[in-house]
Structure 1
Amino acid sequence: MLNKLVKIVFFFTLLSITSCKKEQKESTFSIDKKTKKIEYADGFDIDENKIIIKSPYPKAEETFTYSFGKKNSDLKNNISKLVVTSTTHIPALELLNKEHLLVGFPHTKYISSEKTRARIDSGFIKELGKEHSLNTEILLDLNPDLVVSFSMGKMNKTLTTIQQAGIPIILNGDWLEETPLGRAEWIKLFGAILNEQQKADSIFNSIKKNYEEAVKIAQKATTKPTILSGAIMSKDIWNLPAGESFVAQYLKDANLDYLWKNSKGKGSLSLSFESVLDKGKDADFWISPGYFSSKKQLLESNKHYAEFKAFKNDNIYTPNLKKGKTGGVLYFELAPTRPDLVLKDIIKITHPELLPNYKLTFFEKMK
């Protein structure tokens, strides 16, 4: 599940979809810019009654096209039973008022939403085991109209078995998007699947508007605090966002001075502790210190964390503390769909005078 922190770095293998129409990247298919429905996301397009998944997994050399809304389409016109495999899919269903369609999910304990948890507790949503080895017996018995999955490679025996049983599978590559609004725009995929395109467009436009308004608010700041991020994740290697990553984009939009903003790459940087200490020792704020949830944990891992100014001044903020009743982290579930709230959190932390009445949604000060 995405809300397992390791899933930021490690994802799972991809299924082989034999019944969907497979196209190479050099396909001549294109969408007229005047009628283009997708503004920010690079991984998919919608054209009339077709969904085109352009980035189903990292470095994919093929795309997948699914027809919908017509007789003999790849996807049913009216889906009544649905299985999804990532917690990032849950907010889209709820915003579209379609959570009642969900009948199965792997590792249900990681779902944070109270609304969907109530359906789990009432027995409407079945536990399907692990996302990379789904319980096919239970899933086939549920006989959903569609499984929305994600993955990292071409082969997944479990999902191939499901597809061969006649259950359609569609890939969701929202986690591969490189901008905050690009990730949020994948709600339009669910809008197309569930015959709620107009509602999905309206929801996304509202999120976009809120995000853009937050950017304008951040520009009113009279200071530009310096920012440190990440932590040591293994051995002595400190992982932090690269300068072209979606996380760095958040910091830029919040009108902050991210100390690694000029670094190349859209993923993460792997640096030595010494180099990060040298550059980030005097950073004003430390945002998202890896999987750590307390200053005590940081010190138990490495006593030299105490040398950072942000540590001394209690200016470390983490999204790991706000969890659902069974342990799922809210940030990993909801943040991709609501980048406007993430941005407002960061502005509230670093420029509190600009949002005096706003309360943090995801982040909390580390104690």
Structure 2
Amino acid sequence: MRLFYPFLAGLTALLAVACGSSGARTPDDFTVELYTPRYAAGFDIRGTEHGTSSLVTVRNPWQGATQVAQHLLVLRGEDEAPAGFDGTAVHAPVSRVVCMSSSHVAMFDALGEADRIAGVSGIDYLSSADIQARRTAGTVRDVGYDTNLDFELLAAMRPDLVLLYGIAGENTIVTGKLRELGIPYIYVGDYVEESPLGKAEWLMLAAELCDRRDAGADTLRQIATRYEALRTQVDTTAARPRVMLNTPYRDTWFMPSSRSYMIRLIEDAGGEYVYTQNDSSSSVAVDAEEAYLLANDADVWLNVGACNTLGELTAQNPRFAAVPAVRNRRVWNNNRRQTPAGGSDFWESGVVRPDRVLADLIALLHDDGTADSRCCYYKRLE
């Protein structure tokens, strides 16, 4: 009997190592590729040889980031985060998530898992029918914006995880307070993806949190199949309509990079961006006069801010009335699906459904007179 106890202790230790994350001590221990993105650049999902837990690594989730890596350990069963793990750990499937971006809401929506969302930021601006219904029922709460988060409410909610987004860096005021309250968080980097399908692929993060990895991969596969089918149907031998984007903010017009998400969509739809000088990773400011000349060289004008009519657009600057796209009624805005408060579903469900956005752009860039009735997110300004 005296030999039995050392044997039992050794067997217990061996089993503990075999359980996966209980034997993993650092992110380097997660070497098995569970999901490798095909389109997105900002994340991957790995596991251990024998375990069920997984590690989501998020890289450079805001503009200008170059050496940022965050780790989200998704625990399953009886697994616990190893001592010294310096990332965020949650148990899956999660039941109470706070989404700080409308695109995060859309990821759960696309999987039929929006009932796992307990809190959102800016509920008046969300299009999700599920969220609005649960708002009425009192099962989802608005936690506020940016540095004006309702931390008292968050503390009372005790969410499993807060999904953050960053524009130019980490909001240390928010993350510091979340750490103080013991509330797990992770930054989501769909915002900085340049590929339309890369943005959509971040729904796999929601799938991982919900234990729906296979369903997530299948959902993305269907979206990508529809996108590629539409893209290949575009007549590449036809003239490519030249496209102007945005409207001025005060005296400055921000023009996106030729590598950006929106330009990828325009090119895949058979259009040509008028401003090719910017090939950086972010938008650049041009003066109003240069932008006016660009607008005059465009066949189509898209994404004109809050404008709902041509009159509202020309009220910003009477010179716009002479722009060819205005004269030819080829100005379109991406706010057909808009909440009463002004939130646009283009930046919600449109992020995970680039196939629908591409279908809109193909229709309006090559309009046969039926585009307005066929578009999901875009409407022609009259």
| TM-score relative to the length of structure 1 | 0.85
Deviation at 1:238, TM superposition (A): 2.0
Higher relative contact order (CA 8 A, sep 6+): 1
Letter in 1 for 2:80: N
Q: List runs of 5+ in structure 2 lacking aligned partners.
A: 1-23, 48-53, 82-88
Distance 1:262 1:219 in 2: 26
Deviation at 1:276, TM superposition (A): 2.9
Distance 1:30 1:310, change over 3 A: farther
Question: Equivalent residue for 1:227?
Answer: 243
Q: Is the 8 A contact 1:348 1:354 kept in 2?
A: no
Tell me whether 1:56 sits opposite 2:71 in the alignment.
no
Distance 1:52 1:150 in 2: 15
Question: Equivalent residue for 1:338?
Answer: 353
Tell me whether 1:284 sits opposite 2:293 in the alignment.
no
Greater shift, 140-149 or 73-82, is seen at: 73-82
Q: List runs of 5+ in structure 1 lacking aligned partners.
A: 1-20
Tell me whether 1:305 sits opposite 2:320 in the alignment.
yes
Greater shift, 223-232 or 266-275, is seen at: 266-275
Secondary structure at 1:64 match in 2:
strand
Tell me whether 1:65 sits opposite 2:64 in the alignment.
no
Q: CA RMSD in A?
A: 2.6
Question: Equivalent residue for 2:172?
Answer: 156
Identity of aligned residues (%): 23
Distance 1:97 1:64 in 2: 27
Tell me whether 1:76 sits opposite 2:76 in the alignment.
no
Tell me whether 1:39 sits opposite 2:38 in the alignment.
yes
Question: Equivalent residue for 1:275?
Answer: 290
Distance 2:171 2:257 in 1: 29
Deviation at 1:324, TM superposition (A): 2.5
Secondary structure at 2:352 match in 1:
coil
Equivalent position to 1:204, from 190, 211, 220: 220
Q: Is the 8 A contact 1:113 1:324 kept in 2?
A: no
Deviations 1:125-174 (A, max 9, x none): 11212233211111111111111111232343233222232221111111
Secondary structure at 2:248 match in 1:
strand
Q: Which has the larger radius of gyration?
A: 2
Distance 1:224 1:58 in 2: 30
Greater shift, 264-273 or 352-361, is seen at: 352-361
Secondary structure at 2:364 match in 1:
helix
Distance 2:225 2:291 in 1: 36
Distance 2:92 2:172 in 1: 27
Letter in 1 for 2:222: S
Q: Is the 8 A contact 1:112 1:326 kept in 2?
A: no
Equivalent position to 2:202, from 186, 202, 223: 186
Distance 1:265 1:135 in 2: 36
Deviations 1:47-81 (A, max 9, x none): 12110011133333221112213411411123121
Deviation at 1:357, TM superposition (A): 11
Paired residue total: 341
Q: Is the 8 A contact 2:247 2:305 kept in 1?
A: yes
